[in-house]
Structure 1
């Protein structure tokens, strides 16, 4: 119980990332064609236009992996106070968010880029906490 209190910030941030990335990955899996269609239109005037299916698959894989690492991190913190997987999950989450930010900026979707920045703040804060 003491771990839940002393590491509550880290655990809450991990749950935030788990919800964010597992939900996003599942959405991509459940509606692959819809996501692909929307993204092809979103990137049709960019250098990324011919690689959208590949990039969507990469993002899907990395989002699910980040969510899984964060889940393992929660169990590690609670059971052994080890935060190695939590840190891996937080770092991978930041990398995925940077990839998404890059895509939004390339597509000149500045409002979408702002939204990604909002997600990046708690993710990078978690990296900071877990490195301390």
Structure 2
């Protein structure tokens, strides 16, 4: 129980990552047609227009892995008081967000890209406090 009270910030960041990425990955899997259809329109006229299903598949896999890593990191933090899995999870979350940011910028969706900034700050704070 001491690891919960001494690592409260890390646990809250991990829960944030868990909710954000696992929900997003599950949504992409359960509404594949809706997501790919919207994104095909979103990326029309860009060099990424023909790669939407591949990109959605890659992001889906990485988001689910990030969410599952967050579960593992929560358990690791509570059981062992070790923040190494938290660091790896936060780094993967940052990389995933950078991939999403790249897509938003290519699509010239600057408002969407800006929205990702808040998520990125939370994840980078997790990297900062665990490294």
Give the alignment's TM-score, normalised by structure 1. 0.97
Task: State the partner residue of 1:44.
Answer: 44
Residues in 1 aligned to 2:129 and 2:42: alpha-carbon distance in whole angstroms = 35
Alpha-carbon distance, 1:115 to partner? 0.6
What is the RMSD computed on CA atoms of the aligned residues? 0.7
Q: Which runs of 5+ in 1 are unaligned?
A: none
Task: State the partner residue of 1:56.
Answer: 56
Assess if the C-alpha contact under 8 Å between 1:68 and 1:89 holds in 2. no
**What secondary structure, in the 3-state scheme, does the structure 1 residue paired with 2:16 have?**
helix
Q: Does 1:125 align with 2:109?
A: no
Task: State the partner residue of 2:23.
Answer: 23
Q: How many residues align?
A: 131
Report Cα offsets for 1:25-71 as digits up to 9, x if no partner. Answer: 00001100000000000001111001111010000000000111111
Higher relative contact order (CA 8 A, sep 6+): 2
Q: Does 1:2 align with 2:5?
A: no
Give runs of ≥4 in structure 1 deviating > 3 Å: none
Report Cα offsets for 1:69-89 as digits up to 9, x if no partner. Answer: 111000000001122222111
Residues in 1 aligned to 2:90 and 2:44: alpha-carbon distance in whole angstroms = 31
Give the alignment's TM-score, normalised by structure 2. 0.98
Alpha-carbon distance, 1:90 to partner? 0.8
